[in-house]
Structure 1
Amino acid sequence: MEQYLQVGVITSTHGIRGEVKVFPTTDDPQRFKKLKKVFLDTGREKMPLEVAGARFFKNLVIVKFKGIDNINEIEKYRQCALLVDREEAVDLQEDEYFIADLLGMEVYADGEYFGHLKDVMETGANEVYVIESEKHGEVLLPAIHDCILSVDTEERKMEVRLLDGLLD
């Protein structure tokens, strides 16, 4: 399992005092108000940053980091992900999973290997799992109890039921 989980992506700077606009990739953007520490994924390293404050503007979060007080210090980190340590992650309810834990998971149907989970699409009603199958190509599977029988994040396996019409 991944040690770090993404909570947002820096889209641009905000003003000249080192604030950034962050597109939240978490189900609960309000968690930015409680975050004290994040890791900035620069591509080479995961740089720890202390969150000094967060406020909301439209669908973005404006974040200020402690010790970064100039636009020039933060501008180079556009499009970089903000991560939290798994220990800082929100508590999940039953049958909820972090997307990072699902990606790449082996998928089985009727006990036979079917493919691997390639992506998760978030729709209004429910998530849709994109499964890459050698035999059937890309298969879209709704993440509902009728289709998803079991998920084992430790073993990285998922057992599914293919409802009639899903492979057509």
Structure 2
Amino acid sequence: MEKWFNVGKIVNTHGIRGEVRVISKTDFPEERYKTGNILYLFLPKAKDPIELKVKSHRSHKNFDLLTFEGLENINEVEKFRDGILKVPESYLGQLEEDEFYFHEIIGCLVATTKGEEIGKVTEILTPGANDVWVIKGKGGKETLIPYIHDVVKKVDVKEKVILIEPMEGLLS
């Protein structure tokens, strides 16, 4: 059976020309929302996903705005609200060395190179220059770790373990 990965959630329409407002959950929005790409829409009450072909993509505030081929006005896309856009595992491309999909990193155990356990990755933030991994430790304490070579020394997605060399003050 095919494994599906979330790309984003349609939270509303935008304007009257069939544009939808999406909160993205994808690692690579510019790649995933490229014109001509196929996305699958899973609606809460629908049995089967709806295949959609991306016609246009642009960013607006904290959202990605998409239009789909053959859907030209608000009335045709209004029913998509609260739908989840997904892609099958077969759509995930090969990544460069030291690049990972979010689903590979989330859930990994993080420890220092000296063996001190920090916690598990619960979320990935993408503020700009580099990703920031949110680590939840014992007692619910959250630690933010920048994904940079000076800090992250080894990522083993098969074993779900990440080794870091914390900079001074990073773990305090």
Structure 2-normalised TM-score?
A: 0.75
Change (3 A) 1:143 1:36: closer
Change (3 A) 1:149 1:52: closer
| Structure 2 match to 1:155 | 159
Question: Cα deviation per residue 1:129-162 (whole Å; 9 max; x = unaligned)?
Answer: 1111116811111111121111111221111122
CA contact (8 A) 2:35 2:54 kept: no
> Over aligned residue pairs, what C-alpha RMSD do you find?
3.1
| Structure 2 match to 1:54 | 56
CA contact (8 A) 2:33 2:54 kept: no
Could you tell me how far 1:16 is from its partner in structure 2?
A: 6.1
**1 CA distance for matches of 2:21 and 2:156?**
36
| Structure 2 match to 1:33 | 34
1:64 to 68, 84, 101: 68
**2 CA distance for matches of 1:26 and 1:118?**
15
* Structure 1 gaps, min length 5: none
CA contact (8 A) 1:39 1:46 kept: no
| Equivalent residues in 2 for 1:1-168, closer than 5 Å | 3-14=3-14, 19-24=19-24, 25-29=26-30, 31-43=32-44, 47-51=49-53, 53-56=55-58, 58=60, 60-64=64-68, 71=74, 74-109=77-112, 110-134=114-138, 137-168=141-172
CA contact (8 A) 2:58 2:65 kept: yes
CA contact (8 A) 2:110 2:121 kept: yes
Structure 1-normalised TM-score?
A: 0.76
Could you tell me how far 1:165 is from its partner in structure 2?
A: 0.8
Change (3 A) 1:111 1:35: farther
The number of residues matched between the two structures is 166
**2 CA distance for matches of 1:158 and 1:73?**
45
Change (3 A) 1:26 1:9: farther
Is 43-52 or 145-154 further displaced after alignment?
A: 43-52
* Structure 2 gaps, min length 5: none
Question: Cα deviation per residue 1:61-97 (whole Å; 9 max; x = unaligned)?
Answer: 332255x677556424324331111221243221111
